[in-house]
Structure 1
Amino acid sequence: MTAPRGLLVAAPRSGSGKTTVTLGLQRALARRGHAVRGVKNGPDYIDPAFHAAATGAPSVNLDTFAMADATMAAIAARALDGAEIVIAEGSMGLFDGVRGETGRTGASADLAALFGWPVVLVLDVSGHAQSAAAVALGCARLDPRITIAGVVLNQVASPRHRRLVEDGLARIGMPVLGALARDAGLVLPERHLGLVQAHETADLEARLDALAETVAASVDLDAVLAAAAPTRGLADAEDRAALPPPGQRIALGRDAAFSFVYPHHLAAWRAAGAEIVPFSPLADEPPPADCDVCWLPGGYPELHAGRLAAATRFQAGVRAFARTKPVHGECGGYMTLGRALTDADGVAHPMLGLLPVETSFAKRRFNLGYRVATLLRDGPLGRAGTRLVGHEFHYASIVARDEAREAAFADMVDAEGTDLGAAGHRVGAVSGTFFHAIARR
C-alpha cells in the first residue's frame, strides 16, 4: 500500500481542545475531498466513533504500551488502506504515559515517533500570553524523536491577545497554524461519566459541519497538509490479530447499554473469517443460538438496569446459551452476568446470576489504568497462562463476590507490575471481568 501522510494532534495537558481541533480538521479536510482517516492514541472507546462520523471511515486505537510494534503496524495497515491523510488524536498530555522504556509508555509522543507523524500542538492560551511560547518550546525540546510542526491556539480572547501570544512564539521560531477564539458552542456535550457517545449526540452532523467551518476559517489547512509526513512502518505489518476471534460466529451484544468494542478487534475478527452477529439485550433479544460464543461488551448497563432486569427473553437466551457455549462479559457485560446491579439511585436490580458477583453504581469507586492479565483457565480469550494487556475504566464497585481462587478469571498486575490479585470470575463456560482486553502480549 502507498503510505498516507499523517499528523498527530496533541497538547501539553488534557482539556486543551485536542478533540475539537482533531474533529474540525478531519471534517474540514474530508469536505475538501481528501480521503481522511482518524487514529486515537491509547485506550478510548469514545473518540474513534467521533472520528468515524467526521471522516466517513472507521477509526482505530493504537497503543504503544499494550501493543507490539508489528501488531500496531498490522492494525494501521488495515485501517489506513486507501487513506490520503491521517489526522491522529493524542491522549492526555503529549508525553503522559506510564513509566517504562522509551517508546513503550503509551504516551502520544511514542506513537508520533513510531509512525513518523509530526505533531500539531494545541495550546490553550487562556490565562497567559507570551508565556505560551515557553510551554511550546519545552514540548519541542523534551523529546528529540518527535517534531512539532506548529501550534493551533485555542481559547484566544481577542486580537490583541493573539498578537501577544504570537509575539512569544515568533521568538522561538514556532509556526502558528491557526487560532480559535473562545466559543462554548464548539464544545461537545458531556454526560454520564463525562462520556457522550457519537450516536447519542444530537445533531451530530450539524455540529461536525460547524466545527469544520470554524476550523477552515481559523486554521491554515494548506499549511497543515504540507506539514504532514509519510506514515512509517506499514511495510512491517504482519497478518496477525491483537486478539484472535473467540469463535467463528460471535453473538455480540450491541445497543445503548453495550457499545464498547474496539474497532481493531472487529476488523481483525472479520479479516480472520469470523462472522459477527449483533443482538440487542435492551430490545429483549437473545443471542442467536447458532453462534459459537456470546460476547457482552462494556457500556452503560447501570443506566438501563431496570430494562435489562425485565428482559426475560434476553436473560433466558443467555442462560440457555451458557449451558453449552462460552459467554464472556467485559466491564458492563461482567456486571450484567452477575447476580445484581445497583443503580445510581440505590435500587438493586437482579441480573443474569451466571457469575458470583454483585456490583453497585451507587457506591462509586474510580478505577482507571492499564492492566496485564494472566488467564487462569482456558476460555474464549485464550488458554490458561495467556497474557493480555488492557485497561480498566469504571466507577462501579463490587459489593459482594466469591473470593475463591478457583472462581477467578485472571491474575492481574498494573502497568508497573504491582500485584492486584485475582480479578473477575469464571464459572463453567461463563467468564467476566472489569478488564477490557486490548491485545495479547
Structure 2
Amino acid sequence: MARSLIISAPASGVGKTTLTLALARAYRDRGLKVQCFKSGPDYIDPAFHTAATGRASVNLDSWAMHREAIERLVSRGTDADLVLAEGSMGLFDGVAVPGVSGTGASADIAEMMGWPVLLVIDPSGQAQTAAAIAAGLRDFRAGVRLAGIVLNRVASARHEELVRRALTAAGIAVFGALPRHAAITLPKRHLGLVQAEEQAEVNGLIAEAARIVSEHVDLDAVLQSACAWSPQLVARSVNVTPPGQRIALARDAAFSFVYPHMLEAWRAAGAEISTFSPLADEGPDASADVCWLPGGYPELYAGRLASNTRFRRALKSFAETRPVHGECGGYIVLGTALTDANDALHEMTGLLGLETSFAQRRMHLGYRLAKLAAPMPGHKAGACLRGHEFHYSTIVSQPDTPLAIVRDATGVTVAETGSRRGHATGTFFHLIAEDR
C-alpha cells in the first residue's frame, strides 16, 4: 500500500517541480520506493522525475484521458511506498469546457484518485494574506483535501513566523519553509525547464535540492499527511494505436518531446521502436515501416539540421515509400524552411511545404481536438485525436492539403491544421490519446 500526495500551488512558477524532485530524492535516499506522476501535458518534468526516483514517470491528463486510462497509468504505483504527483499551473486551473474526465486541472486528479494536496506557497510580498489564499484553496472545491503547506522563498525568520501563525490559526499545517536564496533553481528556457538529458549535473542539482529540503521541511510530517492508497493492478498501457509495427523514432536534444505513456502504449501493442539522431546526421532505420519525428527544440539546432545532408537524404528516401509523421518541432523540420530567432533562414527537409519563423515569437498553447481529414500513421480519416500544442513559431506558409480540422478546448477552430503531402504528414499538436 502506497502513501500518496499531489503537489500543487496557487500558480505556475512557485516551485512545484523543485519541491517534487527534492522530496522524491529525499525519500528515495531514506530507502523508499517513490513513484512520480505529472498532472497535465508537460513533456519535460517526467524525465526529471525519473532522474530523481529511478522509476519512469508518466502524464495524467483529465481533459484528454478517460478515467480508466488514468487508472491504468497510476497502477504502476502498486509496488511503491510513496506516490508524488506534480500538478501543473494552479491547483484549479484548467480549460473552460471539460474534456473526457475533467478540465485538465490538477484538482481533477486529486479528487479522482483521493490524493490529498501538498501546497507550495510563495509568500513574497505578503504575510498573513498567504493564509487567506491557502484557506481559499482548501475550501474551494468539495472532494479536494488539503494536507498542508510548504512555504517557498521566505524572506526572513520574522516573515516565516508571521505566515506560520496565520496558517496555524486557519487550521492549516505548515511542514516547512524554504529560504528565498536557497540555490535549488533548475535552468529554464522558453518552453520550460532545460531537459533532464541535457544537464550533465542534473543528479547533483536534485541531490542538493533534496539536502536543502531535508533541512527545512519536516519529512516525517509530510509522509504522515499522505493518504494510504491501494491502486488496482491493471494493464498499464493507454488505448493508443501505434503508428506502425517497426517505428523509427527521432531522439536527441532537438527531438525529445515524447509523452512516455505513448511509447509504452506502442510497445504494449507489440510495436518495436528504434531511435536515431538527426543531430548526429543519422537517418531512420531502413527496416522500419514508419518514421516519427517528435517535438523538441529544432529552432536551437536549425543550422546543424540544415547542414546534415545524410539525415535529410535518408529521410527523403524513406518518405518515398513509407509514412513519415512530425509533431510540432518534427513537423517544422518536415517543412521547407525555418527562420530562427536571429532572423536567419535555414532550409529544412522539404517533405512538406510548411515554412515557419521564430523571429517574432508568439506563444501557441492549449489543448487540441482534431478530426482527421486524411489518414496519418496509426489513424484513419475521420478519427478524433486529443492532444496539446505549445510552441512559439509562426506559420509563414502552410500550402499543403490540411490534415485535420483542429479545434481548441472551447471548440474554436485554429489555423494549425497540420498538413500532408505524399507519405508525409505533420501536426502542431502532440498526440495524448484517441477520442472515442
Asked whether the two chains share a fold, i.e. TM above 0.5, the reply is yes
SS of equivalent to 1:294: strand
2:128 maps to what in 1? Answer: 130
Amino acid at match of 1:427: R
Give yes or no for contact 1:116–1:230 (8 Å, CA) kept in 2: no
2:175 maps to what in 1? Answer: 177
- Of the three residues 307, 310, 313, the one matched with 1:313 is 310
183-192 or 323-332, which moves further after superposition? 183-192
Query: How many angstroms apart in 2 are the aligned matches of 1:195 and 1:207?
Result: 13
2:74 maps to what in 1? Answer: 76
- Could you tell me how far 1:363 is from its partner in structure 2? 2.9
Percent of residue pairs bearing the same amino acid type: 55
TM norm structure 2:
0.96
1:187 aligns with 2:181: no
Query: How many angstroms apart in 2 are the aligned matches of 1:229 and 1:104?
Result: 22
Give yes or no for contact 2:416–2:427 (8 Å, CA) kept in 1: no
Query: How many angstroms apart in 1 are the aligned matches of 2:321 and 2:249?
Result: 17
1:325 maps to what in 2? Answer: 322
The runs of 5 or more residues in structure 2 that have no matched partner are: none
2:282 maps to what in 1? Answer: 285
Query: How many angstroms apart in 1 are the aligned matches of 2:305 and 2:298?
Result: 8
2:203 maps to what in 1? Answer: 205
1:370 maps to what in 2? Answer: 367
In the comparison of the two structures, how many residue pairs are matched?
434
Amino acid at match of 2:150: V
1:411 maps to what in 2? Answer: 405
- Of the three residues 426, 431, 436, the one matched with 2:430 is 436
- Could you tell me how far 1:84 is from its partner in structure 2? 1.6
2:21 maps to what in 1? Answer: 23
Give yes or no for contact 1:119–1:149 (8 Å, CA) kept in 2: yes
Query: How many angstroms apart in 1 are the aligned matches of 2:133 and 2:164?
Result: 13
Query: How many angstroms apart in 1 are the aligned matches of 2:191 and 2:34?
Result: 30
Query: How many angstroms apart in 2 are the aligned matches of 1:344 and 1:29?
Result: 42
225-234 or 156-165, which moves further after superposition? 225-234
SS of equivalent to 1:183: coil
- Of the three residues 273, 276, 282, the one matched with 1:276 is 273
SS of equivalent to 2:118: strand
2:35 maps to what in 1? Answer: 37
1:113 aligns with 2:115: no
SS of equivalent to 2:32: coil
Query: How many angstroms apart in 2 are the aligned matches of 1:230 and 1:250?
Result: 40
Give yes or no for contact 1:36–1:83 (8 Å, CA) kept in 2: yes
Q: Deviations over 1:57-105 (max 9, x none)?
A: 111100000111111111222x324322111111110000011359511
- Could you tell me how far 1:191 is from its partner in structure 2? 2.7
- Could you tell me how far 1:421 is from its partner in structure 2? 5.2
TM norm structure 1:
0.95
The runs of 5 or more residues in structure 1 that have no matched partner are: none
The verdict on how the C-alpha distance between 1:387 and 1:232 changes in structure 2, with shifts beyond 3 A counting, is: farther
358-367 or 192-201, which moves further after superposition? 192-201
Amino acid at match of 1:257: A
2:219 maps to what in 1? Answer: 221
1:300 aligns with 2:297: yes
Moved over 4 A (4+): 237-240
